[in-house]
Chains A and B, each alone.
Chain A
Amino acid sequence: MKKNKENPENLVSLFADRNEGLRILREIEQAEAVLAASSEALPSGQALKAIKQKVRAALARRQRRRMYARLWVGAAACAVIAALIGLLYFDGRNEKSNRTPIAANGKIDSVIWSEDDPQTAALMQEIETITDEMEAGGLQWGQTDGAHSRLSSAVDEMELVATNLDFWKG
């Protein structure tokens, strides 16, 4: 049996006097010699071979796990980079689209509401004319039109005829 580098005498002297310590050590050595003289317990060659195969399989599994881990990390890194590029690209586009409408809105507003614009003036004039004509025809905003009046008159007339002629009596 390989002896380790520990100095047992020094160690035992911490717990017992010198003679007692030496006796303890002697008893330990004697018992260890009895153990060493006993039959060895050795694994069979077949068992060792099987264990080496198990170890090789475990190594292959570990290698596969590491490869998948590397692939996964690579894919994750690509996804992050793609996301960052996308973010930067769309952010840039948003900045542009935010700037352009402001300028355009200003232009449109000024074109529509400019009183000097001849097309707008003509349109406004036409709207006013139609409004006047409708008011002159007795049609007010929020009222029904003439068709309803005509229908009420016809109903009244039929009731009058029915009353006067008593045709329902036979």
Chain B
Amino acid sequence: MPDNEDLRRLIEACKAGEAAAYDRLVDLYGARCYGYFFRLSGCRTTSDDLLGDLFVKLVEKLGTFSGEHFDKWIFTVASNLFRDYLRSRYRRQKVLEEKAVQLAQLQTGDDGENPMLDKLQEKLGRLDAETAEIIMLRFYGQLSFREMSEIRGEPIGTTLSKLHRGLKKLREMMES
């Protein structure tokens, strides 16, 4: 990851509309944001779509970034994007169906067209959506507890408690 000064310059270049700067931003944040979307949706196609939507949204919204913590800002946009995605009833249904198919494939040992499916994905699918999102925000967003609580609009103690419980449960499931 670039240091703060490099990142600031990169964002300024993006704000000026330089396509090469956006390419670099995609290279820097693409993997983390993709991981966040993939772990929450469990679907490669959905994650590709959401990642594309995220960077297109950045083109429109980067002008509003005030220049404090870019990681927090971009994962706030990603989080809102994923929530919008889930809000659609049809899509919610689709995600649930995809997860059910993936779990069935895992249980039969047949990954089909999803070689990325792994034990972590399976266990994450067993957590409730809110807990899974908190864990992924922490893991892929590399956000502090305070930043996470600000994104979620809840007291920091609540976020800390939910994260602790969720991670503990996930670890137990992974080690079982």
A residues whose Cβ falls under 8 Å from a Cβ of B: 1-6, 8, 11-12, 14-15, 24, 27-28, 30-32, 34-36, 38-44, 47-48, 50-52, 54-56, 58-59, 62-63
Interfacial chain B residues near A40, Cβ < 8 Å: 31, 35
Say which residue of A27, A28, A31, A55 sits within 8 Å of B22 (CB atoms). A55
Q: How far is the CB of A62 from chain B (nearest CB, A)?
A: 6
Report the bound CA distance from A52 to B48 in whole Å.
12
Kindly state whether residue B104 has any CB partner on chain A within 8 Å.
no
B residues whose Cβ falls under 8 Å from a Cβ of A: 1, 17, 19, 22-23, 26-27, 30-31, 34-35, 38-39, 47-48, 51-52, 55-56, 58-60, 116, 118-120, 135, 138-139, 142-147, 156-157, 160-161, 163-164, 167-168, 170-171, 174-175
| Cross-chain pairs A/B with CB under 8 angstroms, 12 sampled | A15-B160, A40-B31, A41-B35, A42-B34, A43-B34, A43-B47, A47-B48, A51-B26, A54-B55, A54-B56, A55-B22, A56-B19
Of chain A, the residue at the smallest CB distance from B34 is A43
Instruction: Tell me whether chain B's interface is mostly helix, strand or loop, or mixed.
Output: helix
Interfacial chain B residues near A39, Cβ < 8 Å: 116, 118, 120
Interfacial chain B residues near A54, Cβ < 8 Å: 52, 55-56
Of chain B, the residue at the smallest CB distance from A2 is B142
State whether A51 touches B144 (Cβ < 8 A): no
Q: How far is the CB of A57 from chain B (nearest CB, A)?
A: 8
Interfacial chain A residues near B1, Cβ < 8 Å: 2
Report the bound CA distance from A47 to B70 in whole Å.
23
Interfacial chain A residues near B39, Cβ < 8 Å: 41
Q: How far is the CB of B158 from chain A (nearest CB, A)?
A: 10
Interfacial chain B residues near A52, Cβ < 8 Å: 22-23, 26
Interfacial chain A residues near B56, Cβ < 8 Å: 54-55, 58
Report the bound CA distance from A2 to B31 in whole Å.
14
Say which residue of A12, A28, A55 sits within 8 Å of B19 (CB atoms). A55
Say which residue of B34, B59, B145, B174 sits within 8 Å of A34 (CB atoms). B174
Of chain A, the residue at the smallest CB distance from B147 is A4
What 18 new A-B contacts, CB under 8 Å, besides A35-B120, A39-B120, A52-B22? Answer: A1-B139, A11-B156, A11-B160, A27-B171, A28-B164, A32-B139, A35-B139, A40-B31, A43-B31, A43-B48, A43-B51, A51-B26, A55-B19, A55-B26, A55-B58, A56-B22, A62-B17, A62-B60
